[in-house]
Amino acid sequence: MSTTTPPITPPSSPHSPSSSGGGGGEVNYINATKGIKSWMFTVDHKRIGLMYMVGVMSAYGLGGLFAILLRSELWNPEPSFIGGAEAGTTEAMNNAWDFYNQAFTLHGAVMVFLFIIPAIPAILGNMVLPIMLGAKDVAFPRLNLLSFYFWVLGGLFFVWVLSKGIINSFYPGMIEIWGPGGLETGWTFYTPYSTTTQNSAVVAATFGAFILGFSSILTGLNFIATVHMLRPKGMGWFQLPLFLWALYATAIIQILATPVLAITLLLLIAEKTLGVGIFNPALGGDAVLYQHFFWFYSHPAVYIMILPALGIISEVVSVHSRKSIFGYKFIAISSLAIAFLGFLVWGHHMFTSGQSALTNAVFSLITFFVAVPSAIKTFNWIATMYKGDIRITTPFIYILFTIGLFTIGGLTGLFLGCLSTDIHFHDTYFVVAHFHYVMMGSTLFAFLAGVYHWFPKMFGKMYNVFWSNLGGIIAFIGFQLAFFIQFIAGSQGMPRRYASYPEHFEFYHQVSTVGAYTMGAGMIIVLLTWIVALRTGKKAPANPWGGNTLEWHTTSPPPTANFHAEPTAEEPYDYSGWKYVSPEEGWVQRTPEEREAARQQLGTGH
């Protein structure tokens, strides 16, 4: 990595961001150095973010593909993916069920470990966190790169292990070449299923998840140290952009929860390979202990997935409503509150696992507490939009979807947190619909909103607004089609994780499958808009939205060191300093006199 010689711009030529719009030969982080090595060994947080983006989106494609296959199997109660077997035979049925079990495991595990958890922190967080702080990089740049390679290593291993069994089920001949494999335990690896099934790649898969955990821990560690140590002068904790509050809360969860997953997976490996018996009552272990351990990580992990998404909402809502965020401190603290409460509610996954009634009641109560900070955020976003100068931009449309999906997902969570109703809904499609609304609906659409919000900053290109909006709207309709009906199916008793079902559920499943296809089409449009924008997009201005967080104070895309001149911290949600000029130049900074006039005209304090 020391072979690349950095081009140095003379220190005597500090540009102001707005003046740099014209020059075509601008040196930025993308074109600063060339060659594959300059990417593979880079320690630039922005390049690492981009590499994550490629990897994470590939994982998303794989997980999405299997979602489509799952829904195809569920189109009717008969077995569909029967491999080489003759239709109607028992073998055909077994093949289809095997395939289904492995497919939903792969879908869940890839989406959780490879897509949702790293999506926002590793891609967008890496990209903008240091810039928002006015820093040149994260605190530990090389650790950041290491985290990426852990992700790649763990991810490849994980995908390989999970795909092997599925390939085998289509080409039985491959078993002789690389042996049996595949995982059919579901992404949760519940014991005793995971410890007793034969031919299951539990050990390999958990080892992959273990490595991915390291990646997650290193990213979290980096973010915590960066937020603590690299804030510029004048930026106190309450001048921190809300996205960073969300990332900070996320990082705390990553640090505190992921090690517990690591030890859980190690124990599971020991259980499987050595027969240790920690989770096996026949050997003196505790049957539910695994679930306790697993959810002690995985419930907070749900907040690893959703908190950064909530942070993006706070940013986008404020910028595109041209209004200072309402209730800044409440939103900031509520992120920490969610992180804290997230550690106290894991037992609500085990209401039917034989916990004592008292334990259930306590976990149920604390679960309801989570609704408080979540509602605080939602009301504050709506209050921010109220009487705002709303611009219906692409990110804003996606954010509206996110808030809607988050609200539905959150409110249906109340039915699951409530003991009496949960007994009925447990392990039904109601649960499936609920967590897809919260994790997938909210996080995915917020992630897309974030990408569209920062796309001009990341790549210096603008995208096609019409197609981007259309893709989002199609995906949103598809999502609602696919999942809303699952609430009904679930409340009527359709259990999750079955490849077949009674006839009268066929209608629900077919609607759901059509929804999944629609959503897939929408997502393909979204991805195409990104690719087209990268190739032919118009040059983006430094500040296309008029945001005031520090990333809008530098050029698009930023130079390798992020800023041409040392930035000074400002109130992140004070928009009085910017005026709109033209699509090409975007928003430019007002002179102090203009700013004062604008303030008086607006009648706002700041």
Partner 1 sequence: MTQVTDSHTDDHTGHAGHDDHEHHGPPHLAHHFETPEQQLSSAKLGMWVFLATEILMFGGLFCAYSVWRGNHPEVFAYAHTALNKDFGFINTIFLITSSFTMAWAVRTAQLGRTKATFILMGLTLLGGCGFLVVKTFEYKAKWDHHLFVGDLNEHHPDYVAPAEAAHGEADGDHGAVDEHATIEQTAADHGAADHGTSDASVEVAGETTGETAGEIVGGAERTSIALAPDGPAGVVADWMVAPVIAGETADAGHADDHAADGTDEHGAHGEAAADAGHADAHGGGHGDGHSVSKEIVPLKDRQKIHQFFQIYFLMTGLHTFHVLVGMGVIAWLMFCKVPKGIFGPGYYTPIDLVGLYWHLVDLIWIFLFPLLYLIH
Name the residues that contact partner 1, by CB under 8 A: 1-2, 4-14, 27, 32-33, 42-44, 130, 135-143, 217, 221-222, 224-225, 228-230, 255-260, 262-264, 266-267, 270, 273-278, 281-286, 289, 293, 559-561, 564
| Residues making up the chain, counted from first to last | 606
Alpha-carbon distance of 426 to 352, in angstroms, equals: 8
CB of 561 to partner 1, least distance (A): 5
Place of tokens 């290593």: 153
Alpha-carbon distance of 397 to 219, in angstroms, equals: 29
Residue type, 68: I
Q: Measured from the CB atom, is 183 or 278 closer to partner 1?
A: 278
Q: Measured from the CB atom, is 93 or 255 closer to partner 1?
A: 255
For residue 353, what are the CA distances in angstroms to 7, 105, 240, 349, 356?
61, 21, 42, 8, 9
CB of 135 to partner 1, least distance (A): 6
> Which SS3 state, helix, strand or coil, does residue 28 take?
coil
Q: Measured from the CB atom, is 56 or 269 closer to partner 1?
A: 269
CB of 384 to partner 1, least distance (A): 33
Residues whose CB falls within 8 Å of the CB of residue 40, separated by 6 or more in sequence, listed in order: none
Q: Measured from the CB atom, is 43 or 511 closer to partner 1?
A: 43
CB of 27 to partner 1, least distance (A): 7
**Residue 370 and residue 409 in contact, taking contact as beta carbons nearer than 8 Å:** no
Q: Measured from the CB atom, is 7 or 84 closer to partner 1?
A: 7
CB of 205 to partner 1, least distance (A): 19
**Alpha helix (H) ranges present in 110-140?**
117-118, 126-132
Alpha-carbon distance of 25 to 418, in angstroms, equals: 60
DSSP-derived secondary structure letter, 266: H
Alpha-carbon distance of 164 to 152, in angstroms, equals: 18
CB of 211 to partner 1, least distance (A): 14
Q: Measured from the CB atom, is 69 or 251 closer to partner 1?
A: 251
CB of 255 to partner 1, least distance (A): 6
Beta bridge partners of 588: 579
CB of 149 to partner 1, least distance (A): 15
Q: Measured from the CB atom, is 97 or 297 closer to partner 1?
A: 297
| Backbone phi, psi, residue 586, to 5° | 65, -140
CB of 263 to partner 1, least distance (A): 3
Residues whose CB falls within 8 Å of the CB of residue 113, separated by 6 or more in sequence, listed in order: 154, 158, 187, 208, 209, 212
> Which SS3 state, helix, strand or coil, does residue 542 take?
coil
Q: Measured from the CB atom, is 9 or 591 closer to partner 1?
A: 9
User: Closest Cα partner for 178 from 159, 164, 157, 196?
Assistant: 164
Q: Measured from the CB atom, is 288 or 488 closer to partner 1?
A: 288
